[in-house]
Structure 1
């Protein structure tokens, strides 16, 4: 019993020690019933304090292997602290031309990390709001499990590549 307790403490300590100090945010929002409607808006609030160093912004997507499309179009709005809005449309490729998953598959779930912006510098300190909507012809996309946002400080090695 004592060894199980020590093992659990060691695992928790290891996991806490593995957090990445360069990660500003890494959050997911579950899609209710895995049905992503064009009416659904997925929101993230992010406090940005660094206006000097470049950042990488990723849209993270989790689908089941039963997702029927080879891609997904996403509308994106970023509201800056000064209330200005930047709107973009992104295409995420789910499979290649042969139908092979482009994300990391684990069982019946596939995880995708899609670059939205590389090496961007946030111009203003403050609260940023990121909003995402699906922009496909189907009004409801089945088998979309969750949508996430990840923002990292850009690794200097990445800048040289």
Structure 2
């Protein structure tokens, strides 16, 4: 019985290693969980990463996982990319989260959908060193000036850097 259990664990670990190692484009990929009560408007999610390659172009993505508690067809984000020399790029971005019928976009078999959203395409980092990527939600209801204080339905926010082909 114990030998069978150990064999199953080894097989599972080997499969996991196989799937992880197959992602040859990945340079950086991590997620941060959002509070179960929702993503607060004043809550910035930070990702710190090191750049060693200033030659090969990269694609940068914001990954969003949402569930059925997300009530909107789009998502507004404010991003800030901080360079090692102190320079920063700030963007306000809008992404579609659902189609015209209200069906969530993204992948996933359960109520959790994952959206891989382009942030920057085919960029070359100008310098090696430590970078910080910051993202916060900037959602507002139609006709309202004040933002949504707590955005429900976003479960995790990720940041991914891939090598281009």
- Above 0.5 in TM-score? yes
Aligned residues: 155
Moved more, 11-20 or 88-97: 11-20
Which one has a larger percent strand, Structure 1 or Structure 2? 1
Structure 1, unpaired ranges of 5+: 157-161
Q: Is residue 2:41 matched to residue 1:38?
A: yes
CA contact (8 A) 2:95 2:117 kept: yes
Matched residue, 1:4: 5
Work out whether residues 78 and 93 of structure 2, in 8 Å CA contact, stay in contact via their aligned partners in 1: yes
Q: What is the aligned partner in structure 1 of residue 143 from structure 2?
A: none
Other-structure match for 2:66 = 63
Unaligned runs of 5+ in 2: 141-147
Q: Which runs of 4+ in 1 moved over 2 A?
A: 17-22
TM-score normalized by the length of structure 1: 0.91
C-alpha distance in 2, partners of 1:56/1:80?
Answer: 16
Written as runs of structure 1 = structure 2, the 5 A alignment for 1:33-112 is: 33-112=36-115
Query: In the alignment, is residue 132 of structure 1 matched against residue 135 of structure 2?
Result: yes
- Alpha-carbon RMSD across the aligned residues, in angstroms, is 1.3
Look up the match of 1:150: 160
Structure 1 residue 99, shift from structure 2 partner: 1.0
Q: Which region of structure 1 is more displaced relative to structure 2, 97-106 or 55-64? A: 97-106
Whole-angstrom CA distance in 2 between matches of 1:66 and 1:140:
12
